[in-house]
Amino acid sequence: MAIQQYLAMTASEITAASVLPPRIAWMACHFSPYGTGLSNCPHRLPPGSLLILNDRTPIHLHDPLRIACQLNDLARWLSCAGILLDFQRPGCEETARLSTFLSDTLPFPVAVSSLYARCTASPVFLPSLPCHIPLEKFIAPWRGREIWLELAPDCRELLVTSQGCQVRSIPYPEAAPAFLHDEMLHCRYRPQVTPTQAVFTLLRTREDLACLISQAEHLGITTTVGLYQELRGQ
């Protein structure tokens, strides 16, 4: 089965787009900061879209049953393909309980971010792959689970000295001159070596992401989700 690729869009991006991608995800649904229930729910989506629920607003005191009913009604009314719980606040017991409740209750696919996926048997949503880590190693802890993967361009700097290696994210450059290509990591790299250290700048372009998708499909990853503003035309 071919990998399913979704682009996450805001309401304004959907309105402004002359042609929509084949599969889109509504990315701005969140817990209401003013009362119970959800905010910024879509009024219309192409059939087969994803709904993404984030925890930009903390879940505190929101009723899981009310959230489940709202998501169920929305997904049925809009003919959605599933729900993505993109929860990024770690260590919240309320979020863990909600993740389990929704994945057990809703009658369609519910993917859960890796922070809370061990609470459920549902598909796990992994963050974007860092340039310096092979994809097979990255997904190894989740073997046996259905895996969804975030797609995003990436740029890292590796500082190698006698004390070891330090890795940090750096701003994505506007241009990437004189970069070599690494087929295993699906990225470009540029080494700078001195007698005391080596600095490797690693860069994953949109072209590299296309190769990454091919490997992801080979490894059994079923779904990718990326930002429309980063990957349009991918």
- 144 and 171 inside one domain: no
Q: Which residues in the chain land under pLDDT 50?
A: none
Half-sphere exposure of residue 215: CA atoms within 13 angstroms, side-chain side: 17
Half-sphere exposure of residue 125: CA atoms within 13 angstroms, side-chain side: 25
Count of the separate structural domains present in the chain: 2
| Among candidate residues 141, 148, 143, 185, the one with its CA nearest the CA of residue 167 | 185
> What residue numbers bound the domain in which 137 lies?
4-152+206-231
Q: What pLDDT does 113 receive? A: 97
- 58 and 170 inside one domain: no
- The contacts of residue 87 (CB under 8 Å, 6+ apart) are 53, 54, 55, 95, 99, 112, 113, 115, 116
- Count Cβ atoms below 10 Å from residue 10 Cβ, excluding itself: 15
- 176 and 96 inside one domain: no
How many residues in total does the chain contain?
Answer: 234
- 225 and 145 inside one domain: yes
- 174 and 73 inside one domain: no
- 75 and 139 inside one domain: yes
